[in-house]
Amino acid sequence: MNIKNNECSKSLLNNLFFCLQPIIRNGDDSNINEYELLLRRKKDQKFPEVEFEYLSQNNNRNELLMAWSYREIQKFLELNTQCLLWININPQQLSFNSTYLFLKSLKEFRKNIKIEITEQIPDKVVDKSTSLISCICKIREMEYEVAIDDIGMGLNTLSFVLENITQISRLKLSLVSLRLLNQEELILLIKFWKLVANEAKLELVVEGIDSEELRILVSNIGITMQQGFLWENEFKYLY
C-alpha cells in the first residue's frame, strides 16, 4: 500500500511547480529580491488544492512533498544567492516531523528563507494536543522569521495573531477575499491591521494588488509593501 501511495504522490508532484511572486517595496519593481513561494499546478497555474490535501494528509506523503520542495528551493537559491524566499507552511504540516526535518535541511540557506503560516484550519488528522503556538516557537528556535498569512481568515484570526505576536515579524493581509467591501470599509480594515502591526512593530504586507488604482489607494494608507498580479511580469517560475 505504501508503494502505491508513494507512486501516486510522485505522480502528483510531477504535475506541480513553484511560482515566485515578488514582494514590492515602495512601489519600486526595478530591484526585486524578495518573493513568496507559491505552489501551482502545471495544467492551469492554479493552487493544487486536491493534490495538496492528499500530499499533506500524513507524515509519509508530506515527507515526499518536503523532499521535492527542498530540491526545487535548493536549485533556485544556489543560483540566486541574494534572493529571499517566504515559504508557506500549512498548519496541518506543523504536526509532521518531516516538516521540521525539511526546515533543518534548509539551514544552509537560512539567511534566504522565512516562513509563512497559512490560514487553513487543520483537519482531524492533526494531533490536537500539539499547540500551534508551540509549533511556531519551534520554528523560531531554528532561527527562521515567521509571518502570519491571510490575517483575519480561517485559523489566522485577530486572537491567534495576538497570541503569537511576540513570535512573528510580519503580517500579511489579502484583499482577494475582501472584494465585497466598499472602498470606505476596505480602507478602515487596512488601517486597523496597520495599527495592529505598528503597535507590535511588525511589517505589514498587503496582497491582492491587481491594479494601479488599488496600488495607489493602499500606498496612500501608508502601506509600503505590496504584492499581487499588478507585477505579473516580474513573476518567476520553477519548472
For residue 72, the domain's CATH number is: 3.20.20.450
Give φ, ψ of 83 to 5 degrees.
-80, 150
Give me the pLDDT at residue 184, please: 97
Residue 139 grid coordinates: 520554528
Give me the pLDDT at residue 129, please: 44
Residue 167 grid coordinates: 513570535
Domain that holds residue 58: 2-238
Mean pLDDT by 10 residues, the chain (239 residues): 72 95 92 96 96 96 98 96 97 96 96 97 60 92 97 95 95 95 97 98 98 97 97 92
Do residues 175 and 214 touch, judged by C-beta distance below 8 A? yes
Do residues 68 and 17 touch, judged by C-beta distance below 8 A? no
Of the candidates 194, 177, 117, the residue with the CA atom closest to the CA atom of residue 148: 117
Give me the pLDDT at residue 29, please: 87
Alpha carbons 193 and 188: distance in angstroms, whole number: 9
Give me the pLDDT at residue 83, please: 97
Give me the pLDDT at residue 95, please: 92
Give me the pLDDT at residue 125, please: 45
For the chain, what is the domain count?
1
Give me the pLDDT at residue 123, please: 76
Give me the pLDDT at residue 128, please: 47
Give me the pLDDT at residue 8, please: 84
Helix axes 59-79, 97-105, angle to 10 degrees: 20
Residue 44 grid coordinates: 492551469
Positive or negative, the CA dihedral 69, 84, 215, 159 is positive
* Residues contacting residue 230 through CB under 8 Å, at least 6 positions apart: 209, 210, 211, 212, 214, 215
Residue 170 grid coordinates: 510580519
Hey, what amino acid is at 128?
A: K
Residue 91 grid coordinates: 498548519
Give me the pLDDT at residue 56, please: 96
Give the tens place of pLDDT for each residue, 205-221. Answer: 999 999 999 999 999 99
